[in-house]
Amino acid sequence: MTIATAQRAAETPNETALGDERVVITWAELDSTLNRATNALLGAGLGEGQRIAVFAENAAETVLGHLSGILAGVSTVPVNFHLTAEEVQYILEDSQSGMVLVGPETAEVGLEAARAAGVGLVVGWRCPDDSGVLSWEAFLERGEDADPPSDMAPKPFLHYTSGTTGRPKGTETPPTMFAGGATVAEHFEIVGQNARFAAGGVSLVVSPLYHTGPLGSVRAVTAGQTLVILGRFNAENVLRAIEQHGVTNTLMVPTHFQRLLALPEDVRAKYDVSSLLMVSHTGAACPVEVKRAMIEWFGPVLFEAYGATEAGSTNAIGSEEWLEHPGSVGKTLPPFECLILDEDGNQLAAGEEGQIYFRDTTGRGIIYHNAPDKTEAAHLQPGVFTLGEIGYLDDDGYLFITDRSSDMVVSGGVNIYPAETEQVLVTHDAIADCAVIGVPNKEMGEELKALIVLAEGATAPDAADLDAFCREHLAGYKCPRSYDFVADIGRNTMGKINKRKLRAPYWPTDRSIG
């Protein structure tokens, strides 16, 4: 299929190429399956610009779905498998998806969303015969086991972030995270030149494949690297997989580190992790003591990347650098330049705390799908944008994050914009107004808390009722963990709320990760 996979299929046909907790696929089997899946996609009748939504939990087939999309020159849309049918429907419509891939855990919701969105082709693996979806095996039978054309332009993924104004925003994988190339063949040649994806290595996926970071590992298999997929995170299972498969690289978030460190010392000591060459981490600020403990355990193999789905990595730092600058997220990477500005837009000196902005020297900045107004609103000026955080640069150019200026909450490495939750809560008969904020959670970093103003004469609902109400409309991770009833949330005459002021009583004075 690609040069590397075809070579591995010829030289080591019976060695493992891709596996999850249920199935192992050899290089020979992978080459044949990707041929069939890609040819089937090319014959699926998708219209110009239509995409394939992948709405499934972590599995080998989830990887195959995304890979066959790239190989067919079709953009895939990774959809969070926690979402409700209503939420998935919006994404299918906004992304112009003409096909949906589902697993047994998501088939019912995916089929409901597809019907509502007018998507006629739903393909599922390991689903009951009466589920109403076309089986993955039957879909593969539609494609020939012959090399498909590779002269199509490769298409980046279309990711959806939680919405700042109540609706998710679509954004394509930026150029800094998606290898270029005029054709699919050129694209995978570039992927194969990436040292991180060196053939013979073993990559381990422990995070959901609807996130940008883990999706990067999907392309590793096309460079000849074995890919091992785990499902829901279990700390000991991760250590077992590292030892069993000789894992060389993986990506985690700080919550994963905390769960690993929470294992009893005798359990941690049972497993050999010396095969690891790189453990990337992203998604949230990592407490200094947690990161230091992980470096002491795994060795100087941690590599931190700071950025966002919309922009890619803006900053990065290796273990040895970090030990010299503990708490930093590293120096800014080309093509970005970091600017620290005060409230009036004036640039601040080293050591002075202010709003963090990045200038994309290519002029691209960040782009939202079908939303030119949101794209414009994200920029201070063309190519200059913020990720909504406060911090400073030290004298050596290392960036430190100290607070957040945006409403966004980061829980377990997942970005949550409270606007969606607020828009659901205010439809409750007992609620006149509300604000949803992030408050500390030792393991997850942050969790959602709703501050609720009761409607006149209403009795306060209990937390279970409010939780059930939210879950009717929202994925569980968007629902508050707690509810406080307050007299006022401080809206000004323009209807705006100072979220930083509302959060302040719940947070320590120093929120710096340094």
pLDDT tens digits along 23-65: 999 999 999 999 999 999 999 999 999 999 999 999 999 999 9
More confident residue, 205 or 195: 205
Residue 510 pLDDT level (bands cut at 50, 70, 90): very low
Q: What pLDDT, on the 0 to 100 scale, is given for residue 494?
A: 47
Q: What pLDDT, on the 0 to 100 scale, is given for residue 99?
A: 98
Q: What pLDDT, on the 0 to 100 scale, is given for residue 512?
A: 41
pLDDT tens digits along 408-466: 888 888 888 888 898 889 889 999 889 999 999 988 889 999 999 998 899 999 999 99
Q: What pLDDT, on the 0 to 100 scale, is given for residue 513?
A: 40
Q: What pLDDT, on the 0 to 100 scale, is given for residue 514?
A: 38
Average pLDDT, the chain: 92
Across 294-314, average pLDDT? 96
Q: What pLDDT, on the 0 to 100 scale, is given for residue 511?
A: 45
**Quick one: three-class SS letters along 424-471?**
HHCCCCCEEEEEEEEEEECCCEEEEEEEEEECCCCCCCCHHHHHHHHH
Dihedral sign, CA of 411, 415, 417, 421?
Answer: negative
Residue 165 pLDDT level (bands cut at 50, 70, 90): low
With residue 105 as reference, give the H or E element that holds it. none
First and final C-alpha spacing in the chain: 46
Q: What pLDDT, on the 0 to 100 scale, is given for residue 197?
A: 66
pLDDT tens digits along 106-139: 999 999 999 999 999 999 999 998 889 999 999 9
- The answer to whether 41 and 65 are in contact (CB under 8 A) is no
More confident residue, 31 or 388: 31
How many helices and strands, by DSSP H and E, does the chain display?
Answer: 17, 26
Q: What pLDDT, on the 0 to 100 scale, is given for residue 396?
A: 96
Q: What pLDDT, on the 0 to 100 scale, is given for residue 161?
A: 84
Q: What pLDDT, on the 0 to 100 scale, is given for residue 195?
A: 59
Which conformational region is residue 254 in: left (phi greater than 0), alpha (psi within -120 to 50 degrees), or beta? alpha
Query: For 487, phi and psi rounded to 5 degrees?
Result: -80, -25
Residue 152 predicted with pLDDT over 90: yes
More confident residue, 178 or 358: 358
At 30, the amino acid letter reads L
